[in-house]
Amino acid sequence: MARRVHGRVIRVRRRGARGISYPVYIGRGVLSSLPGALRRLAPAYRYFLITDSRVRGLHGRALLASLRRAGLTVSLLSVPAGERSKTREAKARLEDRILALGGGRDSAVLALGGGMICDLAGFTAATYHRGIPFVPIPTTLLAMVDAAVGGKTAVDHPRGKNVIGAFHPPRAVFADLRFLETLPEREFRSGLAEAVKSAVIGDPVLFRGLERDPSAVLSRHPDAVLNLVLRSCRVKARVVEADERESGLRAVLNFGHTLGHALEHLLHYRLLHGEAVAIGMALEARAAAAAGIMKAGEAGRIIALLGKLGLPTRLPKGVPPGRVLIAARADKKAERGEIRYALPRKIGEMARRQGRHVMPLSERLVLAALQ
């Protein structure tokens, strides 16, 4: 890889943490500064580079060699690729490996991969010796614009997605856009769903830009991709800074995720996360328009943009709408068995009800949207 670096830095400031913040490095070639940054921001006697079986061959071994050449002590651990590895059992196996390799409180975890690896490795770091440093190195667009930033870590349970986890902010995030050059088309488009979500909840300029010319991003033009990742991360950083532990505003990041998570679970993760979230956003926007929370034209714009980006917007055939609602009631955002949704009032602004950013919807309206 070329050594030339084209990058930007966003800082996520943590309230109540004595002004502590962590940098998010975004750009082509930012990974070249990883060894020096680790020594400054996440110093450790030993590093554990956690990845999946697919990324291990693509990027894991090369990064391992690079870090070792820089004089760092690093062990490479991997789990099978796919959401099925995001379990308590996989986490326990990682912990056993780290213990066997002599990992102590002076260790740190590096997460190389997509959203699944960022969540799994982050949760492992959160609980190992009651918390050791964690540095995500996202390799997918979805992880760059969402999963790697914010400090939420989790594993799935047979009864729901992300129901067991912890808040564990990273020491730094390295989003090297060169990884996206080899990302399969389906996974790239999946990441665009989370970027659309960011635009809907807090960046109407990004939304209009995608509406006006989706081809620049779809063709992975470097400037368009850098702008997309930067603007999406800025939206998430603003929300996380205001509400690190999801006690209020951070709930807006769940737009599309209430029904999206239910779909993922029902279909045993055959849908990619971004595909499920795209369907969830379309369905929740339709229901919000039917409830008078947002104008039908605004909901139509969201659905149209998702379609332009090649993302699904309808419930897959063969999925009973009633089962989606049953699965959604098991979601961690439900309260007393009542499903709660984060809904837009218009593009760039989320709705509030009684001072809260989540609200119930009539099941009749949701079922109509599902059908």
Enzyme catalytic residues: 130, 152, 194, 236, 246, 250, 254, 257, 261, 273
The count of other CB atoms within 10 Å of the CB of residue 365 is 16
Strand order in the sheet with 74-79: 74-79, 46-52, 107-113, 134-138
**Contact by Cβ (8 Å): 328, 219:** no
What letters, b where the CB count within 10 A reaches 16 and e where it falls short, cover 148-176?
A: bbbbbbbbbbeebbbeebeebbbbbbbbb
Task: Indicate if the alpha-carbon torsion angle 98, 26, 227, 235 is positive or negative.
Answer: positive
Query: What is the phi/psi pair of residue 193, to 5°?
Result: -60, -45
> What is the Cα–Cα distance from 121 to 98, expressed in whole angstroms?
12
What letters, b where the CB count within 10 A reaches 16 and e where it falls short, cover 53-78?
A: ebbbebbbeebbebbeeeebebbbbb
Give the Å distances, CA to CA, from 356 to 77, 170, 270, 299, 353.
Answer: 42, 28, 33, 21, 5
Provide the CA 320 distance to its chain's centre, in angstroms. 27
